[in-house]
Amino acid sequence: MAEDTSRKRTVRGRKIRDDREAKQRCKARKKLARSVSKAKTESEPSGKSGGTHTQRTSEDDLLIDPADAAPEPFIETDAVAAVRDRITGWLAADQPVHLIGPTGTGKTALALSAAAARGRPVVLCNGDKAVDTSALVGGYSGGERYEERDEYVSGVSKKTQIVRDRWVDNPLSVAVREGATFIYNEFSRSDPAAHNVLLSVLEEGVLERPGKYGADRSIDVHPEFRVIFTSNDVEYAGVHQQQDALLDRMVGVHVDYYDAETEHEIVRSHVAEKQDGPADDDPGRTVSDEEIETVVNATRTLREELPIVVGTRAAITAAKGLSVFDDWDGGEAAAGRTDGGQIQFSDGDSDDLLADVLTDVLGPKVAGTEAEIDGIAALQRQINEVLRD
């Protein structure tokens, strides 16, 4: 009896601990998401000068604790660990690392995981055509108004209002000063001219802050400062060719799609995550392992067959989509008939639903773009053909 009570207590204790840990993970994820979107907002210039106007109250807001930077969920199969170890190895050798690969393969997740493993603060920045030097380095952010009061004679005072320009450091300056790991996502979307400041950072260990005068115009690069760049392969639209001098100073790690087993684990971790989510987050229905296998196999087949990029993110989104439709029995019917990655589908409704979900997921890649597929209806036809082949 006493043993029973103590077991109950242990179970309840574990549940409370699990709940607490889930809440902490959720809080850390929200903070990271906020930092990512903040990095995006702050890379948008405003004002006539084209410089960056920042609303931040403190430059330290840009620093993310390494524990909070660790992506969650993060699956570490041998394939993932092998790439991650290459990144951390090059960083330890003081080499800037450039992660190159198609969209949705896991570059950002790898960058965050490698950065978190270093145990140094993390600073995020997102490339964009609007990013200029000041968006990286900093600039004067409006006027700071303060009052000076002089007491000439007792009872007689003079007030003077003074407006002083306030310099605010942006992500690169903060990272260089604090010895952070600077993750510059999609850096090739930015104008190459914005990256001239990076050359002296990587080559001479000095950051020049144009627009700032006097002794503190330049910052000595902290010895622990490291950079991880990510970019899609150059053929993707909207990407600038960066100057050779910069590319020459980084090592390139190619991030390709993972093996089927790893993709399965990744998709499962994201769907399971939803099921364990906070109570106000509709948990949807359970997506079985067989269904995940079907989705992953379908995604991998479409990746080969369609002239558009079908990344791991597409598989995750499709599985999440299926978790909200409860009329799909496709996992059981189709998964038993997978053959070397090629899926054999029956003509039942379940297969139509999978095709519909995949059409929704991949639709934005053809709608309004110059993809070789002529509209959503054509995409749906091709998905149906590929799935039923």
Ligand X SMILES: Nc1ncnc2c1ncn2[C@@H]1O[C@H](COP(=O)(O)OP(=O)(O)OP(=O)(O)O)[C@@H](O)[C@H]1O
> Exposed e or buried b for every residue in 260-280, given b needs 16+ CB within 10 A?
eebbbbbbbebbebbeeeeee
Q: Which of 43, 105, 141, 382 binds ligand X (CB under 6 A)?
A: 105
Separation CA 132–CA 172 (nearest Å): 12
- Whether omega before 96 lies within 30 degrees of 0, making that bond cis, reads no
Q: To the nearest whole angstrom, how small is the minimum distance from the Cβ of residue 358 to ligand X?
A: 16
Q: Is 269 in the site for ligand X (CB under 6 A)?
A: yes
Closest to ligand X by CB, 125 or 176: 125
Separation CA 99–CA 186 (nearest Å): 10
Q: To the nearest whole angstrom, how small is the minimum distance from the Cβ of residue 269 to ligand X?
A: 5
Q: Is 316 in the site for ligand X (CB under 6 A)?
A: yes
Q: Is 114 in the site for ligand X (CB under 6 A)?
A: no
Could you give the angle at which helices 171-178 and 196-204 cross, rounded to 10 degrees?
10
State both tokens at 161: 């209002």
Which DSSP helix (H) or strand (E) runs through 375? helix 375-388
Q: Is 116 in the site for ligand X (CB under 6 A)?
A: no
Closest to ligand X by CB, 302 or 334: 302
Closest to ligand X by CB, 140 or 229: 229
Written as one string, the DSSP assignment of 334-350 is HHTTEETTEE---SSHH
| Cα–Cα distance list, 48 to 5, 52, 219, 384 (Å) | 70, 10, 27, 51
Closest to ligand X by CB, 109 or 250: 109
Q: Is 303 in the site for ligand X (CB under 6 A)?
A: no
Closest to ligand X by CB, 104 or 171: 104
Closest to ligand X by CB, 221 or 322: 322
Q: Is 103 in the site for ligand X (CB under 6 A)?
A: yes
State both tokens at 112: 């965050």
Q: Which of 133, 181, 190, 312 binds ligand X (CB under 6 A)?
A: 312
The one segment of 104-112, 133-141, 146-154, 155-163 that binds ligand X by CB under 6 A: 104-112
Q: Is 321 in the site for ligand X (CB under 6 A)?
A: no
Q: Which of 107, 120, 264, 268 binds ligand X (CB under 6 A)?
A: 107
Closest to ligand X by CB, 176 or 271: 271
State both tokens at 255: 């991030």
Q: Which amino acid is at 3?
A: E
Separation CA 381–CA 128 (nearest Å): 34
Helix, coil or strand: residue 298: helix
Q: To the nearest whole angstrom, how small is the minimum distance from the Cβ of residue 273 to ligand X?
A: 9
Q: Is 313 in the site for ligand X (CB under 6 A)?
A: yes
The one segment of 102-110, 147-155, 289-297, 336-344 that binds ligand X by CB under 6 A: 102-110
Closest to ligand X by CB, 98 or 313: 313
Q: Tell me the site size for ligand X, rule CB under 6 A.
A: 18
**Virtual CA dihedral for 303, 306, 308, 310, nearest 10 degrees?**
-20
Separation CA 362–CA 376 (nearest Å): 9
Positions in 24-83 near ligand X (CB under 6 A): 73-75, 80
Interface mask toward ligand X for 231-260; x: CB under 6 A: -x----------------------------
Closest to ligand X by CB, 51 or 127: 127
Q: Is 109 in the site for ligand X (CB under 6 A)?
A: yes
> Exposed e or buried b for every residue in 51-78, given b needs 16+ CB within 10 A?
bbbbeeeebeebbbebebbbbeebbeee
Binding site for ligand X (CB under 6 A): 73-75, 80, 103-109, 230, 232, 266, 269, 312-313, 316
